[in-house]
Amino acid sequence: MSRLLAALALVLALLPAPADALTVTDQTGRRVVLPALPARIISLVPSVTEILFSIGAQDRLVGVTDFCDYPAEARRKPRVGSMLAPSLEGMVSLKPDLVVATTAGNRQETFEQLERLKIPVYVVNPITVADVLDLVARLGRLADRGDAADRAVAALRERMKAVAARVEGRARPRVLYVLWPDPLIVPGRASLVSELIALAGGDSVTADGGQGYPRYSLEAALARNPEVIILASHSPEPSALIRATKWERFTQVPAVATGRLHTIDGDLTHRYGPRIVDGLEGLARLIHPEAFDRAETR
């Protein structure tokens, strides 16, 4: 931290909180004191950026990271650098009322630096689908877009119910979902992707593995005899279809033998924003194509 920022932190630390301060609790249970609802928000989380745009609160968004690339308009917002090492000076120059960060991708050091400068930090940590919907509602209240957030959550719930109705009562295929091929990274216990696969009418063969997104043995994964294999694609990497050829040699695996080797846009299933329901619908179509009319299959 520069000498100027260090001096500023010392001065701000001595200032008392306003008598009419607003106190909110973030998703990790931390109490965050704000003088008022924030008019200038910096998002260090791509999913948070997506949510704010989806509820019409983009006018309050004054800064984003280099990874905040959706929707396209987000790319035109001022950049503060990477999630892991955002520019402190850049954030201070944008005069934020609030910085939204995450325990999965941002460093504790960043939180502490901002707090020394008396810049409130709201930390998010959604793990389940319910947490994601809760986050939409929370950000809606923070950004004074509560009604829009409630409508967005209601619409997402309706789409989830429609998927549930499609897959209800059907046999649940064994699904191997690959976040990353080498080393092999898969959804394990208490992960959003494992939950999405279950909601889409499948059983993840690695859901009983390590917590979150563990590394996994290829041999162990294939020994589970997955009936569907889904490979996540990540921009700007080459198409996952290229990587799919590496899996086609495992002809003894049911998913390969029956041609059920698929790809999906990882941003739809890994980012905990409104598009997780797009991801859920995509997973359901791959796992249960028979449940969707031909005209509706993408």
Q: Are 176 and 255 in contact (CB under 8 A)?
A: yes
Delineate the domains of the chain, giving CATH numbers in brackets.
13-150 (3.40.50.1980), 170-296 (3.40.50.1980)
10 — pLDDT class (breaks 50, 70, 90)? very low
Q: What is the pLDDT of residue 295?
A: 46
169 vs 14, more confident: 169
CA distances (Å), origin 224, targets 174, 181, 211, 212: 8, 17, 18, 19
294 vs 122, more confident: 122
Q: What is the pLDDT of residue 137?
A: 97
pTM: 0.89
Q: What is the pLDDT of residue 20?
A: 59
- Residue 17 confidence (pLDDT) above 90: no
pLDDT in tens, 82-111: 999 999 999 999 999 999 999 988 999 999
- Residue 11 confidence (pLDDT) above 60: no
Give me 242's structure tokens.
Answer: 């290229």
Radius of gyration (Cα) for the chain, nearest Å?
A: 21
pLDDT in tens, 221-277: 999 999 999 999 986 555 555 567 788 899 999 999 999 999 999 999 999 999 999
Measured CA to CA, the distance from residue 160 to residue 243 in angstroms comes to: 30
